[in-house]
Structure 1
C-alpha cells in the first residue's frame, strides 16, 4: 500500500475515498488521538480530505484542519498544535490525475517502517475501533500554519545581499518561498504562482525538461538564480543565473558540504553520485547510504552525527529543523548560501562531476530477474550491497541494479571517474539484466 513516499496513485482507481476512509480509521485506531490534516492544490484532495477526516473522527480522533498548504508546512504544524500525527493529502510531484496520502510524526519524520506496516495491516484486516456518537472526535479549522512556517524560515537565514530570485511555484502550494525571500530583502518574481491542481503551467515534477520556462526566464533576465518546487513543495531544484538547471547530485553536494563537518555523515540514497563523496571528503565528512526514498533518508538523519540528508530528486532535510523534506527551507538556505559565498554558477563549478549512465529493462518478473542478477553478481564480486536492489562498488566506480517501485522495469545506474569505465560498468550490468530478463520471458 505504501510506496517510497506514502500512498500514491491515480485518483478513482488506486486512491479512492474508500481507501482514505480506511486510512483515517486505521490511524485513529492505532492510537493517534489528535491529528493535523492538510492538502495540496489538487481538487480531488477535497474528496479525500472529507473521507480521511470522517475516518479519523468516527474512531474518536480529534482533527485540526490547516487547509491548503505545503507538505513541510503541515508537518511542522503537528508539533505546533500538540498533535500526535499529521496527514497530508498529496501526490507530490506526480501528474494531475494522481493523488495520495502521506503520514507524519511530530518530529516531521514520515511514518517509519513499523508504523506503515501497522496502518497497512489495520486497513487490510479492517482492524478498526469505531466509537458511538458521544465519542466522535472533534473538528477545528486552524489558520496560520503557513505564517508560522514563514516565521521559522525567516529566522534561519539572514539574506544580506539584494539578490534577484525567480520562484517557479509550479501551480502548487509552495508560495511561502516567494513571501519569505521577499521579506528577507530579495527581489522576487514568481512563475506559475496561481494555485491550480491541474498544473497548467508545467508538469509538477521540477525536472530540467519541465523547468525550461524557468531556465529561459532566468537567463533572459538579471536574476541571480531560480527556484522550482513540485506540487506540495517538499522538493526544491535550482537554476543558476546563467540559466543552467543544477543537477540534483550537485545541489546535494553543495548543501552537504555546507551542512556537515569533520567526522559527521550525510544521509543519501545509494544511487547518489561520487561527486557528493568527494565534496564531503574536503570537509572531513562522509556519506551514509540509504534505500531510495526520502522516508529512509529521514530515518538515517535521526542519528546525532547526521546533520543533513537529501535525495538528488530534490528532497532536502536539515535534521535540526525538521525531518520532513522542506522545499521552502532549501530555497532559503540556498539563497543564503549564494549571498554568503558568491554566485550559484561559481558554486556549481566547484563541484567535480563524473559520467553517469542510466537505463531500464522492461520485465514482468522483477522479483525473479533481481534474484538471478544478485546470484550472478555474488559469484563475480566479494562485496555486494543488497540494501535496495543490488549495488556493487568497484573502487573506481559503482553500479546499481534496482527494480522500479511503480513500473514493470528494472533500472540500471552506473558511474565512474572516466567515460570509458562508466560505459564498461554500465554495459556489463545492463547485459546481465537483459540476459536474466530474457530467461524470465523464455520461462513464461
Structure 2
C-alpha cells in the first residue's frame, strides 16, 4: 500500500509504506521547506513535535526529531499530546512549524505525520505541493556539525490548553457544576486518556467514570467513534448509570456523545449544537464541509447567519472560515473549530461548549432533562455512509463520477471535491478519501431508510463502473 499524502498529513502502515526511510525523507523535506521560508542563510527553524499513544509513536517521534535536528532545526518535544494541544503549543512557542505523530482514527498499525505551519495550522495545498517537490527531488538542507539543532522537552501544554478553554467568556463552570453531571469518558486508550477527564473535572462535572483511559495506545476496538464500534461503551454507560458518555478518537480532534438510553447523539450534531450555542454569544457566519449535515445551515439561518461549505479536510475548512470571517466551524465528523481558541479541530473545545449548552438548556427545562431530549430540539436529518475500496485509483476517476452524476439532471452538482448532488430534500456526496485508498459515499435524507437506499444506489453505480476490491 502506498503512502497517503494530503492536507491531512502523510499516512501509512508502519513497516510497510511508512518506513524509516520515508519518515526521515519527509522530515528532511519539511525541514528544508522551513529553511526556505527563512530570511537569511543563518535562519534556524523551530519545530514543535508531539504524538498520540500508539506503540510506534515514541520511536517515530524520536527518529523525526533526530532528522530535524540534523537538518539544523531546534526541536521542542511536548511528548504525548492531543492534536489540538500540539497546534496550540506550536503557536505559543512561536515555532516555524509543528509535527504531530498520529494516524487519528486509523487502526493501530497505521501512523502518520501531520504537519503544521507557524500558526499551528495544517499546511495548505500549496505548501503540501512544495513539500512533495522537495521530497521527490531529494534536495534537502542538512546541517554541518556546528549547526546541528537542539532538542528540548516541554510537557506542560495540557494544562495550558485547559486554561485557555476555561477562560472562554461563554464558559460558566458554576452553571455546569450546578447540574451535577455524572459522565462516562471513553478515550480509546489514546491521547485524551488524561486530558479529557481533567478538563471535565475542571469544568465542574461532579462524577466521572472512565473506560479505555489508561493511555496504552492499544485500541480495544476500532478507534473511529461510530455506532458499530461503541457497543461496549454503551453497555458501560448503562451499567454505570451515567447521564451521558463523551467519546473521542485517539488524537482528540473528533467528539461523539452517547445519550443515557444508549442512542448516539450523532457526530454530525456535535458541531450543530456547539454552533447554535456559540452564535448566541458571538454572531457570525459558520462553515462546515461538503459532507456535513444540512442541520448546520438550518441553525445558522435561525440566527440570521449564513453557512458556507468547504472541501473535506481541516485545512480546507479553515481556509473558507478565514475567507468568510466565520466565528465557528468544523467538520461533520465531530470536529469543532473555534477561532477564538485556535484554528484547528478540537474535541476539548467541543466538550466545553456542549457541556455549557446542555447545562443552560437543563436549567431552563429541568423536566425534559436528558441529552436525548436536548437533541430533539434540533432538525432531524439522517445520514448514511458507504465506502468502496479501490483496486487502483483510476486517472479518469472524476470523469467517471461526472458520468454517474449526469443521470440526475434534477440535482445541482458541485465538483469541488469529488461530486456532490444536491436534491431539494436530500443530497449525495462521493469523494476519494484523503487518508485511505477508498471512495467515500455520504448521503443525507429526511429518513434513515431513504438515506440508506440512496447510498446503496450509488454504491451499485460506482461498483459497475470502477474497479474495486
For 1:200-259, what per-residue CA distance to the aligned partner results, in whole angstroms no more than 9, with x for missing partners?
x33322222222222222233342221111111122211123332221222222122223
Alignment match of 2:198 (pick from 179, 187, 195): 179
1:414 aligns with 2:426: no
TM-score by length of 2: 0.86
Alignment of 1:21-60 (within 5 A): 21-31=24-34, 33-60=45-72
* Helix, strand or coil at the partner of 1:238: strand
Deviation at 1:194, TM superposition (A): 0.6
The residue correspondences of 1:61-80 to structure 2 (distance < 5 A) are 61-80=73-92
1:4 and 1:292 in contact (8 A); partners too: no
Residue segments in structure 2 that go unaligned for 5+ positions in a row: 36-44, 363-369
Q: Is the 8 A contact 1:34 1:63 kept in 2?
A: yes
- The question of whether the paired residues in 2 share the 8 Å contact of 1:403 and 1:409 is answered with yes
CA 1:216–1:104: 2 relative to 1, 3 Å = same
Q: CA RMSD in A?
A: 2.5
How many correspondences in the alignment?
438
Question: Contact between 2:51 and 2:101, CA under 8 Å: does it hold in 1?
Answer: yes
Change (3 A) 1:273 1:140: same
CA distance in 1, matches of 2:459, 2:218: 37
Q: Deviations over 1:106-164 (max 9, x none)?
A: 43321111111112211121121112100111111123111211221222222322222
- SS of the residue corresponding to residue 246 of structure 1 reads coil
Contact preservation (8 Å) 2:311, 2:416 = yes
Aligned residue in 1 for 2:401: 373
Q: 1:350 pairs with 360, 377, 380, which one?
A: 377
The within-5 A match list for 1:215-254 is 215-254=234-273
How far does residue 274 in structure 1 lie from its aligned partner after superposition? 2.3
In structure 1, C-alpha distance between the alignment counterparts of 2:272 and 2:416, rounded to whole Å: 22
- Distance change in 2, residues 1:214/1:380 (3 Å): closer
Question: Aligned partners of 1:208 and 1:90: how far apart in 2?
Answer: 23
2:102 aligned to which of 90, 94, 98: 90
Partner residue, 2:186: 168
C-alpha change, 1:369 and 1:29, in structure 2 (3 Å) is: closer
Q: Which of these residues, 384, 391, 409, is aligned with residue 413 of structure 2?
A: 384
Distance 1:211 1:430 in 2: 25
Question: Which blocks of at least 5 consecutive residues in structure 1 are unaligned?
Answer: none
1:158-307 map, 5 Å: 158-159=172-173, 160=175, 161=178, 162-174=180-192, 175-186=194-205, 187-199=207-219, 201-260=220-279, 264-303=284-323, 305-307=325-327
Residues 8 and 434 in structure 2, CA contact (< 8 A), matched pair in contact too: no
Instruction: Measure the CA separation in 1 of the matches of 2:83 and 2:433.
Output: 24
Change (3 A) 1:180 1:424: closer
Per the normalisation by structure 1, the TM-score is: 0.90
